[in-house]
Chain A
Amino acid sequence: MKPPRNRRPRWLPTVLALVAAVTLLGACGSSAKTSTPTPGGTSGTAGLKVPTADMAPLESIGKGEGKVNVIAWDGYTEPEWVKPFETQTGCKVNTKVGTTSSDMVSLMANGGGGQYDLVSASGDADLRLIYGGDVRPVNVDLIPAWKDFHPFLQSPSFNTIDGIHYGVSLQFGPNTLLYAKSAFPTAPDTWKVIYDTKYKGKVTVPNNPIQIADAALYLSKSQPDLGIKDPYELTQTQFAAAVALLKDQKVLVKKYWNLPSEEESLFKNGETVVGASWPVQTGNLKKSGFAADDTIPKEGATGWADSWLLATKAPHPNCAYLWMKYISEPRPQAQQALSFGETPANRKACPIMDELEKGGCARLHADKPEAYYQSLQFWKTPLAQCGDGKTDCVPFQKWVAAWTEITG
């Protein structure tokens, strides 16, 4: 026997009232955080002002507070270089691992929440943090090793705005062109190979919207009349051209890789012979005896660069400065580079890398001439503001939507 269907439970109004109450509460609670649009700023990217730009940076480093809370990529605070720092300064390093750039941005919301001091963010998150007011100006005079950084990493556009530093560069790496020697006896010298129908079904590229910048970089050289100057600042026309190129590329792609290990097995299984990659895959493939190599083609390459940024509400500013000062020195720079497989920002780290691992400096491209690094276009958050005062560029959310459309 079934109960009559139209019997309306007496508790239903109560439930509805409760749900409505909770919803309202949620709305009120969070509306406090609603951002008020900043009226046209006078400097920097048109219409956008860094909320913390006027905060005075620290004049001198005082006594350590005994600890520093950092948000870092996994593998960025290994005991090898953290232990000496802790003994030296008495600042204990507490690490919260950030899994993605967005994760880091969320954790740093509201100026680090009065909980976190530093974040080791990548270029694609930096501008979000800076314009979100989550990080504050840093006095680089308090970090002596900063002068030994590669010139292009001293005041890069992803962590320095209008001459104000919001962080210190840490490590970087290029997005390379990886190829199997079976298909390429000599290194290909152009990114065209990953857009070439000759390699149909044999190509792999990262499953990441920022990949649109790679296409834009290639187009900036192959179709100069598009006028692409910066692959992260694309007008609607330029953006559409890059997206069209990637849509054509899709039929050539075997798989959009998500993890470095995925790309390695694609190469080992013979599924793909060429693709966009990171140096770590090349190293692993070579180590396993697979005949592959990577190159930076004539168009240049995109790359990532990480910086330590200081939280607006950092509760332990002295220890935070001590950490930024320490991690910029050659030895910890070399240790982290070798351990993680990336290139240190400090030029003086190279000899120590060789001392710690034979050929370590060359393996991680830390010994290249400046021209090599000049050919790298580092990830930064695409914003509607184009940098030239115009506001008709395509923002990152559109990049993600377009990437969904491309990968289908």
Chain B
Amino acid sequence: MTTAPSPGGARISAALWRRPWLRASLTLTPPLAWFFVIYLASLAVLLLTSLWSVDPFTNNLHHQLTFANFREIFTATYLRIIWRTVVLAALVTITDVVLALPFAYFMARVATRRVRAALFVAVLLPLWASYLARVYAWIVILTKGGTLNWAFRHVGLPEPNIGYTHTAMWLVFSYIWLPFMIIPVYTSLERIPDSLIEASSDLGARQFRTLRTVVWPLALPGIVAGSIFTFSLTLGDFITPLLIGGTNSNLIGNVIYDNIGTANNLPFAAALAIVPIVIMTIYLLGARFLGAFEAM
């Protein structure tokens, strides 16, 4: 079959038009290749590595499959650290929901356009500063000679002295991840049509009932989306505990970091890295079970 001579570009374009399957596969190949080769394959390698072990003499990897790393995880030390991480992540998430709900509600439904813009900037502004700068700022506030103790002393109250404690970690995490909760909650609240709330009150529901039966279910996807951020970000973090945590402040991330950076025990680090993946899977399945994704 011959075609009339035409510029190359036009010929390619025509060829693609005649073969839709070629067009589709050309468009989809790069993202799919990225997904499979970089994302899924690295997860597979992670899983495989977790079944290896390290020679205690030479630090070389042994490639015989063993479940020793996973057995090691199920000992008191690591279970305690995993439990601590999950509880902290849950506390941070709850704190952020409690703080974000009224704030986002005000932004979405009460504030004037100008106030809303100002609040938006206020929420997002901290994200412009480096994570480290913000954690260090909290050290300055919470440490013994710091701003918080100074303020309490001047009001005549006993000094709280919460630098380098679990409370400090909870406070700093709640602060750092708050924007990641406010924005999705705001988006979901903003999408609720006024007419639904009017209809609710027309039908005789009082404000609290409207909040509970109309606003809350519609805000839930936003809350779940936000909680995925706050929960998983806390679950994987190791810098805040390193900087502001005291003794007993190791999270899963710190143990992974130590096993790679200090011990060179990659298999055990890989096994530990699977723990947050499992926890997040359970979390997402739970959220789905509760119907959080129905409205998405």
Contacts and interface: CB of A to CB of B under 8 A. Distances in A.
A262 B135 CA distance: 13
A30 interface: yes
A347 interface: no
B109 interface: no
Contacts of B81: 404, 408
Contacts of A269: 143-146, 163
B63 A395 contact: no
Contacts of B57: 48, 131, 383-385, 395
B56 A397 contact: yes
Interface stretch (B37-45, B175-183, B190-198): B37-45
A404 B56 CA distance: 17
Contacts of B54: 397
B63 A408 contact: no
A258 B242 contact: yes
A239 interface: no
Contacts, number: 132
Given A31-B63, A265-B143, A253 B262 contact: no
B27 interface: no
Given A255-B247, A407-B248, A408-B248, A128 B58 contact: yes
A30 B144 contact: no
A254 interface: yes
B55 A35 contact: yes
Contact of B36 (A15, A33, A132, A268): A15
Nearest to A205: B247
A395 B54 CA distance: 11
B233 interface: no
Contacts of A265: 139, 143
A403 B63 contact: no
Contact of B58 (A101, A132, A208, A399): A132
B255 interface: yes
B196 to A, nearest CB: 21
Contacts of A106: 264
A153 interface: no
Interface stretch (A19-27, A224-232, A372-380): A19-27
Contact of A105 (B45, B59, B72): B59
B144 A271 contact: yes
Contacts of A197: none
A209 B262 contact: yes
Contacts of B56: 383-384, 395-398
Contact of A404 (B77, B243, B249): B77
Contacts of B243: 258, 262
A254 B58 contact: no
A396 B263 contact: yes
A146 to B, nearest CB: 28
A387 interface: no
A96 to B, nearest CB: 17
B46 to A, nearest CB: 10
Nearest to A399: B263
A408 to B, nearest CB: 4
Q: Which of A31, A34, A268 has the most CB of B within 10 A?
A: A34
B246 interface: yes
Interface in B242-272: 242-243, 245-250, 255, 258-265
A91 B11 CA distance: 56
B248 A128 contact: no
Given A105-B59, A271-B143, A271-B164, A400 B258 contact: yes
B226 to A, nearest CB: 23
Interface in B25-39: 36-37
A132 B59 contact: yes
Contacts of A128: 58-59, 264
Interface in B131-177: 139, 143-146, 163-164
A400 B143 CA distance: 29
A23 B45 contact: yes
B287 interface: no
B164 A19 contact: no
Nearest to A396: B263
B275 interface: no
Interface in B53-76: 54-63, 72
Interface string A265-307: 1001111000000000000000000000000000000000000
A102 B263 contact: yes
Nearest to A256: B247
Nearest to B149: A269
Contact of A397 (B146, B246, B260, B265): B265
A23 B54 CA distance: 19
Interface of B: 36-37, 40-41, 44-45, 48, 54-63, 72, 77-78, 80-81, 139, 143-146, 163-164, 242-243, 245-250, 255, 258-265, 294
8 contacts: A19-B41, A23-B41, A258-B243, A262-B243, A270-B145, A396-B56, A396-B263, A397-B265
Given A397-B265, A405-B77, 5 more contacts: A18-B40, A23-B48, A208-B262, A383-B57, A384-B56
